Structure 1
């Protein structure tokens, strides 16, 4: 005798199980990076500037390297690295870059608990530009002149050093402090005799002055380091976040090296640079992730200069190694760490 089976009561149960699994997967995908990072996405507020040393950041954003490492990065734009660093110490952002090493030394003297986790660029692009119609043909002619420069930045330090190396006492010139755009306007209008500046402002100044411009490279082949800074306590609480950020920077570095044409497109689109200006960037910048002993030596030199010029009440150079966090970069790119400890 045949037995008649009633519809299986297991079918609805299987469907329910499948739905639960799908819901779990959907939730997991929504809380993880779409780029493949298996953990939760973490948000970072990042202070930066719209200048060429920021290219690794632009590339990481453009190529989704941040997203791929589980980071949701929101940029807050400042005019110069000094103000980005000030935003960091004021709690406006979690990290800041590019910040010149001189600015970091100044913050250290101000007793700020910050650390550098890497340099993302080394650049030699600062120039002193003088007006020939103001009697400036050679560096010694800068004596007694007014020179526009941004206060508290590495440009002010490098201007002082440039003058000293060329036999001009900085006390014998007048520093006129203003923003980069203000300095550019001041020399174009003849309100100052010279300026210490960087691209793209130096490019526009040269075009405006034409043959009336006297031009000198001001860095004496000493590059500026474009540092990534964060609060020391924040780093202590977010060591894996630091590693993921540095992995995104490593990927950006490799992209710039292996895909220069695409990287140049990123720069042109972000900063509205011409082909000529973009070619100059590649000649003057080294977009490499690093922590070098030469960075420490530069910072020590700048600290001594700050002390000698009474720009701090401190009398001793601090132990700058206390302000360098090497663990993150050692985990991501160990051969990029060359600091003697």
Structure 2
């Protein structure tokens, strides 16, 4: 991993569905004064191993040091709050933003651009219950289910209900964060919880069981998004950010050992638990047609759930941009 990290500082050109061109400085006449600081989100959950490595190793700080640009982190974990911060100019790059949150923000006028995939993890997003009588989604009829509204997990619930010929009104859905949902299930105020990553694993270790995961329903797509005006003014910084991130992913694929140790320390999991969960996540940053289709499905879900006006639907494919 350390050998891979030493190679990160060289900018790379990536070809494929997402193209980063013009590795090097901007052309004459397009230079913009560098900002004093780049503001990033730091989202370590569910189990965002690349982000943990990047922050713990200070890799973005090293990447921007040559321009004397500092790095500021905001631990905003909820997608809607991340996009609100982007709209306010407080966040430049959302490094791990839920696809549904990106679509909602774009539909409501937030100028954000998707510059890379972050992850897909259908096995890591689950509906769990402690009541042994709840063995299928059909058993949730009339029950209270808690989880974060308007997210991949909420989408999972509604798609799982539809799979059983059920509607959203067939359950009592209560909106709340993942930790709150897990606590509600534990104390009995919720019959089931929408969980992901380490919180899901902890619940299972405490006696809960998986009612349905996202496999076959959605890929739980997470993206990297950049505020539009920041990308327009500082494409070279975005390129350097992506080069660093791609290098981390590449090094992680070759030797995950050090990354597991860092993730365990940061999340409170054991290295064995991290190693168990890590295969649930696909951190390939390249954009595929399947990714776009998954996000289009997510937009349909938002409309059907009444979270997005059909008249505000966006062209999902156009949200992806090549960094020039």
TM range, normalised to the smaller chain?
Answer: 0.7 to 0.9
Pair 1:50 & 2:44 matched: yes
Paired position in structure 1 for 2:239: 243
User: Any conservation in 1 of the 2:178–2:194 contact (CA below 8 Å)?
Assistant: no
Change (3 A) 1:114 1:53: farther
Distance of aligned partners of 1:55 and 1:137 in 2 relative to their CA distance in 1, 3 Å threshold: closer
Secondary structure (helix, strand or coil) at the match of 2:231 reads: helix
Distance of aligned partners of 1:82 and 1:273 in 2 relative to their CA distance in 1, 3 Å threshold: farther
Query: Any stretches of 5+ residues in structure 1 without a counterpart?
Result: 1-34, 329-341
For residues 91-147 of structure 1, what are the alpha-carbon distances to aligned partners after superposition, in whole Å with 9 as ceiling and x for unaligned? 2211112111111111122121111111122222111112325x4232211111110
Q: Which of 303, 321, 324 does residue 325 from structure 1 map onto?
A: 321
In the superposition, the TM-score normalised over structure 2's length comes to: 0.82
Contact 1:307 1:315 in 2 (8 A): no
RMSD of Structure 2 on Structure 1 (CA): 2.4
Matched length: 291
Q: Which residue does the alignment assign to 1:263?
A: 259
Counterpart Cα distance in 2 of 1:287 and 1:152? 23
Structure with the larger helix share: 1
Counterpart residue number, 2:150: 152
Higher mean displacement: 61-70 or 267-276: 61-70
Is 1:76 aligned with 2:69? no
Instruction: State TM-score, norm by structure 1.
Output: 0.78
1:1-341 superposed matches below 5 A: 43-70=37-64, 72-124=70-122, 125-132=124-131, 135-208=133-206, 210=207, 213=209, 215-220=211-216, 222-315=218-311, 317-327=313-323
Segments of 5+ residues of structure 2 without an aligned counterpart are 1-8, 12-23, 26-33
C-alpha contact (below 8 Å) 1:150/1:180 kept by paired residues:
yes
Structure-2 separation of matches of 1:257 and 1:320: 29
Displacement over 6 Å in runs of 4+: 35-41
Rg: which structure is higher? Answer: 1
C-alpha distance in structure 1 between counterparts of 2:277 and 2:202, whole Å: 15
